[in-house]
């Protein structure tokens, strides 16, 4: 563990002892993620390029004997509880929707045939919520790893990601793919995951050691289950159905080429044509981005990030004025390779790939431009790509 992670580990251990009055049996760290290319491609079975980041969820837990799961979410100042094994879909509004994520993981694991134990849990996070950095996936994977450890079973990373996706799709009600969960558990330091979301084959591709990822908070928060996020998968399915009349071999928009879209795009209503243009173009950009990383051409990769943001803004229509200002300001800074917003859009963070030497100028320029437009300084943090979720400690606790 890094020095920072060691400090976080000691803090969560201490907090658990103070609040629960017991020693921890398992401690888990689960990171957030960026997705530098491949916006909204996971549910289209396309290609994505995510990687885990240093801000993380920390979970400390000990088993109970009454099948009751009690979760103290310190960042929210809330405590919620639920009883195993019977969990109804969309059952809980206690403490807001956040508790549906651990409940959903328990539900999905039980549906898969795993017997679970109750837990006393303390949850601590320095990962912003509703910001496009996959805090929900981090919570899901933290609980999953804790139950694996306490219940004596072990899943591979792909199975973990599918449990997380089932939690999102069938329990929480978000029509996402499994990229976030896979990136959370499968990432390695200083590398992006080039992931095929149809075959689930993947390749680790390094970023140059002298680059940094700067995350800037637009201040706009959204809830994916209640935003227009779920409209986009539905629109993609509708566009696929129209194009299948002319291209019967296609299964998703991933299978449509740029030439085919140019030839057949007039069959689509304007909104569906724009959505398709983004997906087809983003597939090409992500594959080109992987090729650029293999060649060590981070400048070419950054140009593709810029094109991705513009396509999201104009074709997928899931950006915001705040995000667009952050992107345009970043693009103009020497040493900035590329920038596009994080996650599903409709708010959240801007993710910026930049030379380490240019970070101070980048932040200064963003603070000035954003302050002039909106009268406030946007919070920012500088991070590196890090390892995926891990069980940090295990001990025998009665």
Query: Catalytic residue at 180?
Result: yes
CA dist 285 and 318 (Å) reads: 18
DSSP for 8-49 reads: HHHHHHHHHHHHHSS--SEEEEEEEEEEEE-TT-GGGT-EEE
From the list 42, 120, 180, 255, the catalytic residue is: 180
Q: Is the peptide bond before 77 cis (omega within 30 degrees of 0)?
A: no
Q: In whole angstroms, what is the distance from residue 32 CA to residue 315 CA?
A: 27
Of 107, 176, 106, 110, the residue nearest 137 (C-alpha): 176
Query: What is the rounded distance in angstroms from the CA atom of residue 206 to the CA atom of residue 297?
Result: 11
CA distance 168 to 108: 10
- Report how far residue 63's alpha carbon sits from residue 54's, in angstroms, rounded to the nearest whole number: 28
Give the Å distances, CA to CA, from 72 to 79, 80, 141, 152: 4, 7, 17, 24
Just list the catalytic residues. Answer: 180
């Amino acid at each position: 563990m890094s020095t920072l992670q060691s400090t976080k580990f000691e803090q969560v251990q201490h907090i658990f002892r103070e609040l629960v009055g017991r020693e921890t049996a398992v401690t888990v760290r689960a990171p957030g993620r960026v997705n530098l290319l491949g916006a909204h491609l996971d549910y289209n079975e396309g290609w994505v390029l995510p990687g885990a980041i240093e801000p993380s969820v920390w979970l400390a837990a000990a088993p109970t004997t009454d099948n009751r799961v009690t979760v103290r979410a310190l960042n929210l100042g809330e405590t919620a509880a639920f009883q195993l094994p019977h969990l109804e879909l969309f059952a809980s509004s206690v403490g807001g929707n956040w508790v549906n994520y651990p409940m959903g993981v328990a539900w999905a694991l039980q549906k898969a045939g795993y017997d679970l134990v109750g837990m006393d849990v303390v949850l601590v996070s320095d990962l912003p919520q509703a910001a496009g950095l996959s805090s929900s996936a981090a919570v899901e994977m933290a609980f999953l790893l804790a139950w694996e450890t306490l219940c004596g079973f072990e899943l591979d990373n792909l199975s973990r990601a599918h449990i997380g996706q089932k939690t999102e799709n069938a329990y929480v009600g978000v029509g996402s793919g499994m990229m976030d969960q896979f990136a959370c558990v499968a990432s390695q330091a200083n590398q992006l995951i080039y992931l095929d979301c149809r075959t689930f084959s993947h390749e680790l591709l390094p970023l140059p050691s002298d680059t940094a990822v700067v995350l800037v908070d637009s201040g706009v928060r959204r809830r994916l289950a209640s935003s227009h996020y779920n409209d986009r998968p539905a629109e993609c399915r509708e566009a696929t159905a129209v194009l299948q009349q002319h291209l019967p071999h296609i299964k998703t928009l991933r299978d449509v080429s740029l030439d085919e879209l140019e030839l057949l795009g007039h069959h689509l209503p304007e909104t569906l044509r724009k959505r398709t243009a983004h997906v087809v173009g983003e597939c090409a950009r992500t594959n080109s981005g992987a090729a650029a990383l293999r060649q060590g051409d981070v400048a070419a990769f950054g140009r593709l990030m810029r094109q991705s943001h513009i396509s999201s803004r104009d074709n997928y229509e899931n950006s915001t004025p705040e995000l667009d200002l952050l992107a345009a300001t970043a693009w103009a800074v020497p040493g900035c390779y590329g920038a596009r917003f994080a996650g599903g859009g409709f708010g959240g963070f801007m993710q910026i790939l930049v030379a380490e030497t240019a970070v101070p100028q980048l932040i200064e320029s963003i603070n000035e431009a954003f302050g002039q437009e909106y009268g406030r300084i946007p919070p920012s943090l500088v991070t590196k790509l890090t390892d995926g979720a891990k069980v940090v400690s295990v001990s025998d606790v009665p």
